[in-house]
Structure 1
Amino acid sequence: MKTYPANLEEKINFDKIKSLIKEACTSKLGVDFVEKIAFCNDGKLVQKLIDQTDEFKKLLTSGEQFPSSNFVDIYPYLEKAKVPGTFLYEDEFHQVRLGLITLWACVEFFDKHQEDYPQLCQLLGMVADDRSLLGAIDKVMDDKGKIKNNATQELSLIRGQLLYEESRLRKVLDSIYRSAKAQGFTPDDASITIRGGRMVIPVLAEYKRRIKGFIHDESATGQTVFLEPAEVLDINNEIRDLEYMERREIQKILTKLTDSLRECIPELRKSFQFLGLVDFIRAKAKFALQTDSEKPLLVKQKNVHFKGARHPLLELTFKQQQKKVVPLSLNLDHNRRILVISGPNAGGKSVALKTTALLQYMLQCGLLIPVDPESTCCIFDQFFIDIGDEQNLENDLSTYSSHLLNMKYFTTFSNKKTIFFIDEFGTGTEPQFGGAIAEGILIALNKAGAFGVVTTHYGNLKQLASKSPGLVNGAMRYDVDKLEPLYQLETGKPGSSFAFEIAGKIGIANEIILHARAQVGETRVKYDRLLLKLESEKNNYEALLSDNQKKEKLLAQRMEEYNTLKSSLEENKKEILHEAKVQAKAIIDDANRKIEHTIKQIKEQKAEKEATLQLRKSLEAHKSTLQTDPRSKKGKASPAPKPEVIGGEIKIGDQVRLKDNGALAEVLSIQGKNAEISIGELKSKIKLDRMEKVSNTVVKKAKKARSIGFDANQKMVDFSPNLDIRGKRAEEVLSLLQPFIDDANMLGLSDLRVIHGKGNGVLRDLTRNLLKKMPAVMKAEDEHADRGGAGVTLVTLNP
């Protein structure tokens, strides 16, 4: 396994990736693992590493409660404890205790979720299931890291006696201090305090001889001394002895506890290695979430298929700027192993190369990468890169010489398990010779069977890639109209540098550009023009394709609407036929009963002329009734029943008919002699004397009859996209405009004309105000001046 050069990780910015992962760690344990990240050519190990990271990524997004703190590095404490006779302090054992609590919390979590996170659960083999040390620590220490009073019987007795002596001392001192204060021997704002570990009282310097005792300290000004009265000397000595005894007992407890820990040092090292590994994997998963990284499919055959690839550092930068990275799609296989990318400067060639190199390296370091999950990758044994200025002043090497040394290494060690990356291939010397040497090197690398990505401006390398098996051209897309890069990689054709076009855009004199074209030669200029034409045609084709896709989507939507309408009409047809059959059967049954009754009566009355004549007249009348029944006419739909005027006072909620045009409406509110009505979705105010109250039942039947009798084909034939409302009143416009828009929308029409005339503009304003409130209307505007101008409103419906 080889990687080249030594500073490869700096060249591809992998060192910055490691720094970001370190920031995501919560402990030094995890950071230590980040430092150990290395390029790996073991496919099984790489698969295991990315599976672990992918599982932890799912854990983080699942909302499960997982320990997130106290991943303590206890290795320094283990080093200290392994020396016999030493002991850890209380605060050190407190840190060990917190680390053990986190460790067992992690173990319990994975024990409960073995099916959800199988790869992570395999790490539990690193942990010895022995919790005796945590139990021993909990027995003698509290949650704050202090030794408990009942840790041992001796400590309990010592601390009990210590509390008693401190209480007795306080009482004696309080008595002495109150007496001294009453005599004015103490400062006004002073109180009992401690000096040198002994309780003392503050006394004014001039009265220090009035109280027997020992002076332990004085104030900064010398006006106050801190005196231990002779009466409490023995008590303070007793307290000091008890404190020494307490300290010795605590040391004895800690020594015993350290001896227990010393026996567990090997197991603890492995267990906390597990804890550090968990912190490390979590940091990798956090970074994956930040960069929208995924787990690609890892295959054995040599195949690199990146779909939707983004540079992770660029992704993070663009997220902060609320911008999006243009994704990269790249495919290398046994037929097209080496990709030669060409195109204009600042067009994204180097970014594409560095993105591919960094993602491949990240993958073989066990990291998830920012690509679509459908991407496929493989493992390489060797990873070579030649990027940037390699000038070496110490060895007196120019940039080109350094590049040649790199190429020597590449051609010497490359094989079928090598992937290499070369940026600006062949530059650094005279183009004629640099291009020739670069061509020879590329042929050698191709012959070795290596995979790779190179960027170049040299035409001979583009031509070599177009005719050599194993090589393929790639171009960075460019908007030839705007002369702006699109940052999209297209495989299969070379790219132009667009040097002349860019020079013209930035204002270089035309004569200079013409001279440059002459120097380059007609053949090369034609070649670049051909590339320019291909790029332009490619852009136009993609624009047409996008437009056609939109039209196909709209057509599919219209087809769906048509099928829905057709289905609805078929259902209505079935309902009408069923209802007609039922009514026809009822009519026939009724007619039969009438005939039978007539015959019976004729027989009973013995064919008397007058009675028979009367019965015949009755039968003829019934026949006339059946013939005039609209449902008895074959093939004709039932006409809508006319609303019955019932008269009476008009109230809110009543159904009414307008006397002027017969339109049906519902009364919404009444204000004096005016009423607000709704005709469908339109509302208007008219006078009460211009409407008449009708039956609600008949109105509902009329509406039902209208909905059942709808014929889409006939409607399309009869419908006109022009509506003439000149001379109409406001309330008439309401009843004409809404059905006109609804019918046009249902029939799939989009361009309509409403002719209202110019006049004083009342009808035009009313029409446009109504149109604004209709959801189906996208815009309404004046017709062309030659075709009516402001007297006609052009209506465009939503697609």
Structure 2
Amino acid sequence: MNDKILHTLEFSKIVYKLAQHAATSLGKAAAEAITPSSDLESVKLMLQATDEAYKADRLKGSVPFGGVADIRPSLLRSRIGGTLNPAELLEIAETVRGSRRVKRHVLQLHDDDPIPMLADLCEQLTEHKTLEDAILACIDDQAEVMDSASAELAAIRRELRNGESRVREKLEQMVRSSSVQKMLQDAIVTIRNDRYVIPVKQEYRSHFGGIVHDQSGSGATLFIEPEAIVAMNNKLRELRLSEMREIEKILQKLTAQTADYAEDLLLDLDTLGALDFAFAKGRLAHQMGASLPRMNDRGYLKLRRARHPLIAREHVVPIDVELGNSYSAIIVTGPNTGGKTVSLKTIGLLSLMAMSGMFVPAEDGTQLCVFDAIHADIGDEQSIEQNLSTFSSHLTNIIRILKTMTPKSLVLLDELGAGTDPAEGSALAIAILEYMHKLGCRIIATTHYSELKAYAYNRKGIINASMEFDVQTLSPTYRLLVGVPGRSNAFAIAERLGLQRDIIEHARGEVSEEDLRVENMIASLEENRIGAEAERQSAEALRKELEAERNRYEAERRKFDEQRDKLMAKAQEDAHEAVAKAKREAEQIIADLRKLALEEGASVKEHKLIDARRKLDEAAPELKKPAKANKPKAGTKPQRIEAGDEVMVYSLGQRGHVVEIGGNDALVQLGILKMKVALGDLELVKRAETAKTQQPKQAASLKRTRDENVKMELDLRGANVEEAIVEVDRFLDESFLAGLGQIYIIHGKGTGVLRTGISDFLRRHKHVKSYRLGNYGEGGAGVTVAELK
């Protein structure tokens, strides 16, 4: 790609932004070396790497590139026999460790959410932990060779420390001496030229023996090595030289180990740079709010709400452009400062970014083409003077473009034909456009000439476009309108600014009738477009409102279904718990009956006990879905339900008998289970026989619950005390003869008179061992339970 084009479209500024997101110098170098590619497959691979990095960075955050450095100079020196210093070796060890961390992090990301391309790159990274451990065993975090690097070094340093201690001790004895202190500037021990010395006053030089190593700036102080420690300092000097030789041997050994792995490490650095480069592109995409474009090599591009990446998002106006399908050239007209040049640069710059493997700041669904070259002639359209030199400069660029362009090129021309006589300039612009159009390349050109509007209107494959201008506010909106040519708006602007009307009318008279017809046609098109745009926005708003309403309805429906399922499950659980409790009590009763039969010789048939248990099991309610219940149709008149009626319970899908009515609820007998059910959950199946003949003031008739077998309960509701006592006495005798251990007397709650009379009778009866009111689930205060002797 031509460097001048990259500069014209400001691609270097995008490269600078990209380099700022690199975590290592390797990634930064790769970013600065980026160039657009004209190969479709290469571009797709680069975009895939960016897409994977974008996804990984969004889900798991930044990759840990810490410690990774560009160690190529050190590796190359190690290969030619040079000795690396401790800092260089430490940098190599940290890079090896950082490479291993990057590899494990990316492979973990791949396991959680596949990123195959980046995972394949990481698989190429080597893990030379042996080299890393060897270096870190000898060099500490401050890049100093440690005592543990070798036994010889440890011994030398131990002896060196002991020698330094002896020298300091000797000197400190001297400075504490009263005879020596008067000759010292300060009672301290210091070092000059790696030798221990003491500061002596200048006037005592002749009285103080030893070697002078330095003096103060004023000359008043001499730093003297006393004769008594010269030999000791010489010994320390020898030890330091031995230490340096041993350190050199250790560094040479580590350098030789590094050279053995240099080839692998150089390849690892290339891989790490590629990984950092990919993640830098992903982070740049996050910052710009960019998306992955679809690429083709058919010369087709479609930008959806594309933004110029170098303009702040809160200020830029997105554009929509389609090129290469129905038409291959767009002629953009409109006023100065209307945004034509920005639109032109946006299209070119986004194409360069996509061809470099970067996301583009546009909405999903954007498509871009891999061109063999992008040619641009974009000058300063805001220039006040348009003279011959400007025309010559534009024409020189266009001549160069005409010589190098191909059918697979994108050509961007700003102010085509400007800078010369309008008649000649427009004719030349039409001729240039016609030549390029016949060649088949993709063209986007901006112009002020009205002749080019007619040319684009009449030429197949070329379409007009304009930058929208608001006449009411006399300002551009910076929106690109494809399919609508621009208007000059000169008369409208002049009138709004207050120019005399007769001058404006005279000017209109100077405009040819044909030009007026074109202006009126454009005005009509723009008016229709504005109307259509308003209708589209209204339809879009309605669509969004309906979509939101549908989503809300779906959410409420799902919530209702969840609540219904929970209530059904709870009801089923409660019903099964109640049945289980009843079954346990019944089993206990049956066990007591067997025990009594064995003890007293009473005859209780086993098959009758089995039959009773079977009926008990069948009494357990089976939960059914509400949707399957035969509910009455909406709008039907609700039926009146009374005590004794046979009813269907919707929610349980079971039939039962109404025991009593209370407000909006009914107590329903379901087998041996009694449940309180809402009246709206009931459907009348069969009316009680007594309901038709019962009179309001008729005396209550006695109802017994007896067939050929003796029952365990006696229903006395509606009877008076005298009638009830007779029936209770007969029932107790029958139950005692049948060997029953426990019986139930149902008298209802009412006023309590019947319950009291029955209790008094039971207290005196010879067959009654004890009695009590019913528990929860047995009928409560409406039932008396008697235990027989």
- TM class by smaller structure: 0.5 to 0.7
Structure 1 gaps, min length 5:
391-395, 603-799
Q: 1:38 aligns with which of 8, 15, 35?
A: 35
Say whether the 8 Å CA contact 1:479–1:539 is kept in structure 2.
no
Deviation at 1:158, TM superposition (A): 0.8
Indicate yes or no: 2:239 matched with 1:242: yes
**Range moving further from structure 2, 157-166 or 203-212:** 203-212
Indicate yes or no: 2:223 matched with 1:123: no
Q: Map of 1:177-576 to 2, 5 A cutoff?
A: 177-180=175-178, 183-187=181-185, 191-314=188-311, 318-319=312-313, 323-388=314-379, 398-506=389-497, 510=501, 513-543=504-534, 546=537
Q: Which runs of 4+ in 1 moved over 6 A?
A: 551-565, 571-579, 599-602
For residue 415 of structure 2, give the secondary structure of its aligned residue in structure 1.
coil
Letter in 2 for 1:406: N
Letter in 2 for 1:426: G
Deviation at 1:11, TM superposition (A): 0.5
Letter in 2 for 1:332: L
Normalised to the residue count of structure 2, the TM-score between the two structures is 0.67
What is residue 649 of structure 1 aligned with on the other side? none
Indicate yes or no: 2:641 matched with 1:582: yes
* Structure 2 Cα separation of the partners of residues 222 and 404 of structure 1: 78
Indicate yes or no: 2:99 matched with 1:108: no
For residue 282 of structure 1, give the secondary structure of its aligned residue in structure 2.
helix
* Structure 1 Cα separation of the partners of residues 41 and 79 of structure 2: 37
Deviation at 1:546, TM superposition (A): 4.4
Q: Map of 1:70-109 to 2, 5 A cutoff?
A: 70-84=67-81, 86-109=82-105
Q: Deviations over 1:247-289 (max 9, x none)?
A: 1111111122222223333322221122222232232222222
Say whether the 8 Å CA contact 1:480–1:536 is kept in structure 2.
no
Say whether the 8 Å CA contact 1:97–1:134 is kept in structure 2.
yes
Letter in 1 for 2:354: L
- CA 520–577 in structure 1, closer or farther in 2 if over 3 Å, else same: closer
Say whether the 8 Å CA contact 1:140–1:151 is kept in structure 2.
yes
* Structure 1 Cα separation of the partners of residues 14 and 547 of structure 2: 47
Q: 1:176 aligns with which of 174, 177, 190?
A: 174
- CA 17–550 in structure 1, closer or farther in 2 if over 3 Å, else same: closer
**Range moving further from structure 2, 127-136 or 264-273:** 127-136
Deviation at 1:600, TM superposition (A): 8.6
Say whether the 8 Å CA contact 1:304–1:331 is kept in structure 2.
yes
Identity of aligned residues (%): 32
Deviation at 1:523, TM superposition (A): 2.3
Q: Number of residue pairs matched?
A: 585
Deviation at 1:403, TM superposition (A): 2.8
Say whether the 8 Å CA contact 1:344–1:499 is kept in structure 2.
no
Deviation at 1:177, TM superposition (A): 1.7
Letter in 2 for 1:107: K
- CA 280–509 in structure 1, closer or farther in 2 if over 3 Å, else same: farther
Alpha-carbon RMSD across the aligned residues, in angstroms, is: 3.7
Q: Deviations over 1:758-777 (max 9, x none)?
A: xxxxxxxxxxxxxxxxxxxx
For residue 113 of structure 1, give the secondary structure of its aligned residue in structure 2.
helix
What is residue 608 of structure 2 aligned with on the other side? none
* Structure 2 Cα separation of the partners of residues 209 and 505 of structure 1: 104
Q: 1:138 aligns with which of 111, 124, 136?
A: 136
Say whether the 8 Å CA contact 2:63–2:106 is kept in structure 1.
no
Say whether the 8 Å CA contact 2:377–2:414 is kept in structure 1.
yes
For residue 55 of structure 1, give the secondary structure of its aligned residue in structure 2.
helix
- CA 31–560 in structure 1, closer or farther in 2 if over 3 Å, else same: closer
- CA 264–378 in structure 1, closer or farther in 2 if over 3 Å, else same: same
Letter in 2 for 1:363: A
Letter in 2 for 1:174: E
Structure 2 gaps, min length 5:
382-386, 561-626, 646-657, 662-686, 703-789
* Structure 1 Cα separation of the partners of residues 104 and 510 of structure 2: 76
Indicate yes or no: 2:151 matched with 1:160: no
Indicate yes or no: 2:207 matched with 1:148: no
- CA 208–442 in structure 1, closer or farther in 2 if over 3 Å, else same: same
* Structure 2 Cα separation of the partners of residues 87 and 446 of structure 1: 65
* Structure 2 Cα separation of the partners of residues 114 and 555 of structure 1: 40
* Structure 1 Cα separation of the partners of residues 306 and 235 of structure 2: 76
Deviation at 1:44, TM superposition (A): 1.0
Deviation at 1:10, TM superposition (A): 0.9
For residue 66 of structure 2, give the secondary structure of its aligned residue in structure 1.
coil
- CA 389–598 in structure 1, closer or farther in 2 if over 3 Å, else same: closer
What is residue 57 of structure 1 aligned with on the other side? 54
Normalised to the residue count of structure 1, the TM-score between the two structures is 0.66
Letter in 2 for 1:192: V
Letter in 2 for 1:461: L
Q: Deviations over 1:293-339 (max 9, x none)?
A: 1111223543211111100001xxx25xxx24221111113321111
**Range moving further from structure 2, 349-358 or 260-269:** 260-269
* Structure 2 Cα separation of the partners of residues 562 and 359 of structure 1: 41
* Structure 2 Cα separation of the partners of residues 556 and 106 of structure 1: 44
- CA 573–498 in structure 1, closer or farther in 2 if over 3 Å, else same: farther
For residue 484 of structure 2, give the secondary structure of its aligned residue in structure 1.
coil
- CA 382–80 in structure 1, closer or farther in 2 if over 3 Å, else same: same
Say whether the 8 Å CA contact 2:328–2:461 is kept in structure 1.
yes
Letter in 1 for 2:155: L
Deviation at 1:49, TM superposition (A): 0.8
- CA 42–583 in structure 1, closer or farther in 2 if over 3 Å, else same: farther
Q: Deviations over 1:378-420 (max 9, x none)?
A: 2222221111169xxxxx9933233334333444444431211
- CA 550–309 in structure 1, closer or farther in 2 if over 3 Å, else same: closer
* Structure 1 Cα separation of the partners of residues 110 and 541 of structure 2: 48
- CA 277–495 in structure 1, closer or farther in 2 if over 3 Å, else same: same
Say whether the 8 Å CA contact 1:478–1:535 is kept in structure 2.
no
* Structure 2 Cα separation of the partners of residues 423 and 522 of structure 1: 29
Deviation at 1:509, TM superposition (A): 5.4
* Structure 1 Cα separation of the partners of residues 354 and 333 of structure 2: 26
**Range moving further from structure 2, 241-250 or 143-152:** 143-152
Say whether the 8 Å CA contact 1:180–1:186 is kept in structure 2.
no
Indicate yes or no: 2:25 matched with 1:28: yes
For residue 313 of structure 1, give the secondary structure of its aligned residue in structure 2.
coil
Say whether the 8 Å CA contact 2:302–2:368 is kept in structure 1.
yes
- CA 543–498 in structure 1, closer or farther in 2 if over 3 Å, else same: same
- CA 182–542 in structure 1, closer or farther in 2 if over 3 Å, else same: same
